Structure 1
Amino acid sequence: MRVVWGAVVADGFDFSPGAQVPLSGSAGQTAATQALASAAYRDSPLSDIAKADSDSGKSEIKKPKLSLFEPNLGEAFSRAVQVRMLGGGRKPLIQSFGTEPQTVVEHCLSATRIRKQRDIKLTVLMVLFGLVFLPGVLLWLGVFQLRKMLSKSDGSSLSLLGAVLLTVLGGLALFFMIKLPLNGFWPMYGRAMLVAPVIGWWLAKQFCERTAVAMRESWKGLLEGGGVAAKIPEAVPQDPNQIAAETLRQNLAKITAEQNSNVVFYAGPKGILGMGTRWGSWQLAEELTPAREGTEINPFRSWDVIRVIHDRLRLLERSPLHTGGFPTPSVRHWIVSPVGEKAAAVARPEGTHVEAFQIRGHEIERICNEQQFGSGNRHYLGVQFVLWDGQLVITLMITVTVLHETLRIEVTGHALGPVNGLFTTKPEPKTKDVAKVIKFWETKTQHLPLIEAKEVVRLAARAPLTWFPPVLDFLGGKLTLPEPFGLRHVWADKPWRHRFMADDALRAATPVLRTVHAAAMSVLADNGVDTERFTNRSLVLSGMIQGVEPQKADEYNA
């Protein structure tokens, strides 16, 4: 790798973002992006992530060696996403259609930065009140660890035993302090050993409470569309010698470059990774015959048909009536690579025909014309609608093949639903109902601190180890993300549970299918092909698609 001030050149490509020009199709994708980004600021239990997993893969939670060091959802999510998407030897990513993955990663970095600022203060407190009075700290940590272990037990007898043990330990500590002599260094140290950790705990609670309030404000602000910005100054190099900052900046730009790749992966019944399962398929296949006897068909290739279809699809937002209709779609050529249903990783193509994760135009044309049968990648023309602020992604893929004297035009529908409801839940204040002093038959709501006593102990215990993440992962456990990983599809619900989203997916198929057929007929007619059979078949498909219903098109009853 060659490092240059203002740019990093790696593998012959500079991932520097350069001029910040908004990409087409990126507008209106904030809801799904901010919902996923809000997970970095959450303080809910890590086990909640299992409820959000989709059929594309299941997250794996490594159990902690000591539950006192166990991370919460925000801590584990931020750590897992950073390692997976910014790590040194990371695997290729699946595109996150309808979202901006770089923004999500930036919020993970920002949340980690806020926690590190808190952990610096907690570490200083641990040195002042913990290291000097280490025996007392270990005693208190042992008490909290014992309490946490017994509180997780289902047996009422063990929970009662835990309460008795804690009461006995508290009584012994008080008795020990009273009975000690009042003179001498060690008696005074023994008293301070039990009291100093409590003072340190009280100060730590103030730091933790302020940080928790700030994190929850970011969490809530993202879900309410408040424009919460991710603050990561460590990704902005100030001079040519800041290689770490320049590398981080490059890795963030690399995420966006991979997001814009035109290579996708078909994983059997899972559909195209990142686009969702194939819910419908419509095929027009007829024999190529001359329009007039004694003449021959003008030679043409699949690319000639695809190019005309591409131009017609770009006009989908136009309508003869002054109505809302389609938004401007994204019409793009895709190279689809097959992978196994249970594949743990994907491999992006390399070579002279690849630049910045994208297949060059001449190679796309070659694949479209030549790779239609047997092994190898396939070409598809995709028209994609990103709706509901990025919560719904509708993709219709078109492929044209010519085998012997048969021309086949296939249109398939893919739909990716909204992110799981876990990511759209807002923070709720901690409250309890208490009886009024005078009107005791009435109750009032009392707001509780966000940070409990046991949470302060957990955060203080983890703070010194945050500078050694592998050690913290070993002791406290970690979150392992499902593979092949993409931020969007692994936590996406099915759109068919939402009536309007389902309607949008079904309605998009009909005009796209008719536009594709009309464009193909014009090419056939211009090249001297008899279009009567094609027209008849097109009318049949046009009638069938009016009553279309979502199906599991990739699950064959063999």
Structure 2
Amino acid sequence: MTVDSGYADIFGPQVPRTGDEGQTATFALASAAYRDNEVEEILKANNEWHESTVKPGQRWAKIFRPNLGEAFSRAVVDRMLGSGRAPLIQSFGTEPQVVVEHCLAANRIRRERDNLLTIIMVLCGVIFLPGLLVWLMVFTIRTTIARREDKRASTLATTLLVAVAALAVIFLIQMPFTGFWAWYARASVVMPVIGWFWAKQVCERTAKDLRERWDSLLAGSSVGAKVPEAVPSSPGETAAEQLRQALARLSAEQQSNSVFYAGPKGILGMGTRWGSWQLAEDLAPADPDREIHPFRSWDVIRSIHDQLRMLERGPLNTGGFPKPSIRHWIVTPIGENATAVSRPEGTDVEAYQIKSHAVQDICNKQQFGSGDRHYLGVQWTLWDGQLVITMLITVTVLYETLRIEVTGHALGPVHPLFTSKPAAKEKAVQKSLKRWETRKVQLPLVDADEVVRLAARAPLTWYPPLLNWLGGSLALPEPFGLRHAWAAKPWRHRFMADDALRAATPVLRVVHSAAIRVLEENGVDTEKFGTRSAFLSTAVQDPSPRKADLYDA
């Protein structure tokens, strides 16, 4: 069964799409599952929020090292679908389930290839083990030499392989054995070579398929992720049912209204706080002879919520704001360098969602001291998911002072590493006559070393822990979320920065007007509030991004 990763979902609700949210960021992250770059390339995408690391394998077993696609897809699946996994950070602007489905699909394609390679290894390698070990040793030495920075290393590595091949031919002609062992020795030299040619055909076919999927995702063709193992065909298929439930759990956690504030790193998943505007004035009665009618913070927040829904409507037909996502968030504070998070639990939480009455209680009561805090958020996902703009509003009342705070958060595009398309493998060589000029020579999609690497890894893919110990693996940053783990800053992109800055003024004015309306209805003197609001409206005319969570103290 084919799951259309762009538009269909049989496992649970997807991330709600608002504004001009598209699939660019989702498909860019998903394309990493099909890539054949070196795994160390992922380190280029590290940012101020988190850093990925590559766990090295055994120094003598570099032939078992994974490439980027193998390490990424295995790490993402294990982290996001593993039993007893730690909580995840929401991936705003992307659909994490789609990324995981593509990782599962990539694993399945490689598993089918590895099954064939395992058969080849048994027929052409394990049965003729002495020859296999010799050839593997030669290729390991050759790879080690070729990976050096010395320009002569490549020539030396090729010379080594040619020399060993010549010795093999001499060995076949001048056989020191007779009888059965002579024929077995000849077969031990020849059969691994035959197996290599056979394996090369299998590897090239799979590599072409993976690269086509990589290119199609970045081209926007929304290639489907085939995950038949996630669709139970009978009540007895417990593995398929567990996988289906894990995907449904992932989708449900993506919808959680609980987020985490990590100090200077901002709200995980939403980005750092780049701007803050506060309106704080005394609550004085408009009529000295009458007291203020009692109201709560939730009453102000509810009025602001209703008014924010009108942001997409304007007096002029100029396009303006797309429809935003407006939600109530419960923000939990964690340490700046915390390596794990814990989601709220109890009777007030259902399917990762904090119930409405609990949200109201936090909004009205938890305004000072320890505990979670309430924020009303208006969020736009723009640039096909590459830019996430979030404006958060909180209302607090301490003694006779009401404070309304509006903060801006922005999460930029995924790192360019994920948006790079597959390039043809080629190298520059000197021309035979005009040696001062160079020309590009097309290299095979799968070279000799790659065939040996894949064939050597294939039998061990049935037990990933051993393979990871030998060849190494990718360690994902914690607390892990697909989107913010590899996000760049939006301020280097002029139009993205403009969009983030322009959203502040209209939101601030809507928030202030809605709050002042509630105050007037409850008999509060709003003159000071109006004056302060006008001052903030002037100040926000020229907002500039800054690190609002870094205090100079």
Partners of 1:137 and 1:277 in 2: CA distance: 54
The CA distance in 1 between the partners of 2:452 and 2:14, in whole Å, is 47
Q: Does the aligned pair in 1 maintain the 2:15–2:255 contact within 8 Å?
A: no
Of 110, 115, 118, 1:123 maps to: 118
1:197 aligned residue (184, 192, 195) = 192
What is the alpha-carbon distance in structure 1 between the residues aligned to residue 264 and residue 84 of structure 2? 29
Which residue of structure 1 lines up, in the alignment, with residue 24 of structure 2?
Answer: 31
Contact 2:387 2:411 in 1 (8 A): yes
Larger CA deviation: 445-454 vs 327-336 = 445-454
| 1:159 to partner: Cα distance | 7.3
Counterparts of 1:509 and 1:490, CA distance in 2: 25
Alignment partners' CA distance in 2, 1:194 and 1:108: 38
Give me the identity figure in percent: 64
Aligned with 2:539: secondary structure?
A: helix
User: Shift of residue 171 of structure 1?
Assistant: 3.6
Mapping for residues 311-322 of structure 1, pairs under 5 Å: 311-322=306-317
Q: Deviations over 1:82-134 (max 9, x none)?
A: 11001112100000000000000000000000000111111110011011111
1:280 to 2:261 alignment: no
List gaps (5 residues or longer) in structure 1: 1-15
- The whole-number CA distance in structure 1 between the counterparts of 2:425 and 2:127 is 35
Amino acid in structure 2 at the alignment position of 1:29: G
Q: Deviations over 1:369-408 (max 9, x none)?
A: 0000000000000000000000000000000000000000
Matches within 5 A, 1:29-428: 29-65=22-58, 66-154=61-149, 166=161, 168-180=163-175, 184-428=179-423
Aligned to 2:6: none
Partner of 1:11: none
1:411 CA drift (Å)? 0.1
Report if aligned partners of 2:13, 2:252 keep a CA contact under 8 Å in 1: no
User: C-alpha distance in 2, partners of 1:21/1:77?
Assistant: 22
Aligned to 2:484: 489
- Per-residue deviation, residues 134-183 of structure 1 (Å, max 9, x unmatched): 11011000001111222233467887876665455334322222111695
Q: 2:511 aligns with which of 509, 516, 525?
A: 516
Q: 1:314-367: CA deviations, max 9, x gaps?
A: 110000001110000001000000000010000000000000001000000000
Aligned-partner SS, 2:482: coil
Maintained 8 Å contact 2:25/2:413: yes
Q: One-letter code of the match for 1:552?
A: K
Deviations 1:186-228 (A, max 9, x none): 1122111111111110010011001001000000000010110
How far, CA to CA, are the matches of 2:153 and 2:208 in structure 1? 35
Tell whether the 8 Å contact from 2:142 to 2:160 is kept in structure 1 after alignment.
Answer: no
Matched, 1:466 2:461: yes
Partner residue in 2 for 1:5? none
- Give me the TM-score of the superposition, normalised by structure 2: 0.94
Cα gap change, 1:235 to 1:291, in 2 (>3 Å): same
CA distance in 2, matches of 1:276, 1:32: 16
Q: Which deviates further from its counterpart, 55-64 or 250-259?
A: 55-64
SS of structure 2 residue aligned to 1:547: coil
2: CA distance, partners of 1:516 / 1:139: 74
Closer/same/farther in 2, CA of residues 209 and 157 from structure 1, 3 Å limit:
closer
Indicate how the Cα distance of structure 1 residues 339 and 22 shifts in structure 2: closer, same or farther if over 3 A, else same: closer
Name the SS for the 1:61 alignment partner.
strand
Question: What TM-score, normalized by structure 1, do the two folds share?
Answer: 0.93
For the 8 Å contact 1:29–1:100, the answer to whether it is kept is no
CA 1:197–1:209 in structure 2 vs 1: closer, same or farther (change >3 Å)? Answer: same
Aligned counterpart in structure 2 of residue 532 of structure 1, from 527, 530, 535: 527
Cα distance in 1, alignment partners of residues 275 and 189 from structure 2:
69
Larger mean CA deviation between 355-364 and 149-158 belongs to 149-158
Equivalent position amino acid for 1:528 in 2: G
Aligned mates of 1:126, 1:508 — CA distance in 2: 60
Distance 2:147 2:11 in 1: 52
The unaligned stretches of length 5 or more in structure 2 are: 1-8
Partner of 1:521, secondary structure, is helix
* Structure 1 Cα separation of the partners of residues 482 and 417 of structure 2: 14
Alignment partner of 1:500 is 2:489: no
Secondary structure of 2:541's counterpart equals helix
CA contact (8 A) 2:15 2:254 kept: no
Question: In 2, Cα distance between the equivalents of 1:22 and 1:148?
Answer: 45
Indicate if the aligned counterparts of 1:392 and 1:415 stay in contact, CA closer than 8 A.
yes
How far apart are the structure 2 equivalents of 1:92 and 1:136?
49
Distance 2:166 2:522 in 1: 97
CA distance change for structure 1 residues 473 and 26 in 2, over 3 Å: closer, same or farther? Answer: farther
- Write the letter of the residue equivalent to 2:26: T
Is the 1:55–1:490 contact (alpha carbons within 8 Å) kept by the matching residues of 2? no
Partners in 2 of 1:291 and 1:114 — Cα distance?
71
**Distance in 2 between the 1:35 and 1:476 partners?**
26
Q: Select the residue among 469, 472, 479 that pairs with 2:474.
A: 479
When residues 441 and 407 of structure 1 are mapped into structure 2, their CA distance, relative to the original with a 3 A threshold, is closer
Does the 8 A contact of 2:19 with 2:324 survive in 1? no
Could you tell me which amino acid in structure 1 is paired with residue 420 of structure 2? Answer: T
1:424-443 C-alpha deviation (Å, 9 max, x unpaired):
00001123568999999999
Going from structure 1 to structure 2, the CA distance change for 1:25 and 1:328 (only over 3 Å counts) comes to same
Secondary structure of 1:511's partner?
Answer: helix
What CA distance in whole angstroms lies between the structure 2 residues aligned with 1:22 and 1:272? 18
CA distance in 1 between partners of 2:379 and 2:402 (Å) = 24
Following the alignment from structure 1 to structure 2, what is the Cα–Cα distance between the partners of residues 356 and 411?
29
Superposed counterparts of 1:544-555, under 5 Å? 544-555=539-550
Deviation, structure 1 residue 46: 0.3
Instruction: State the AA in 2 paired with 1:244.
Output: A
Give the aligned partner of residue 4 of structure 2.
none
AA aligned opposite 1:75: E
**Structure 2 counterpart of 1:220, one-letter code:** D
Q: Distance in 2 between matches of 1:441 and 1:163?
A: 24
Query: Quick one: structure 1 residues 43 and 164, their matched pair in 2 at CA, closer, same or farther if it must change by over 3 Å?
Result: closer
CA distance change for structure 1 residues 403 and 545 in 2, over 3 Å: closer, same or farther? same
Aligned residues: 543
> What secondary structure sits across from 1:513 in the alignment?
helix
Moved more, 314-323 or 26-35: 26-35
Query: 1:58, 1:434 → 2: CA distance?
Result: 37
Are 1:45 and 1:72, in contact at CA under 8 Å, matched by a contact in 2?
yes
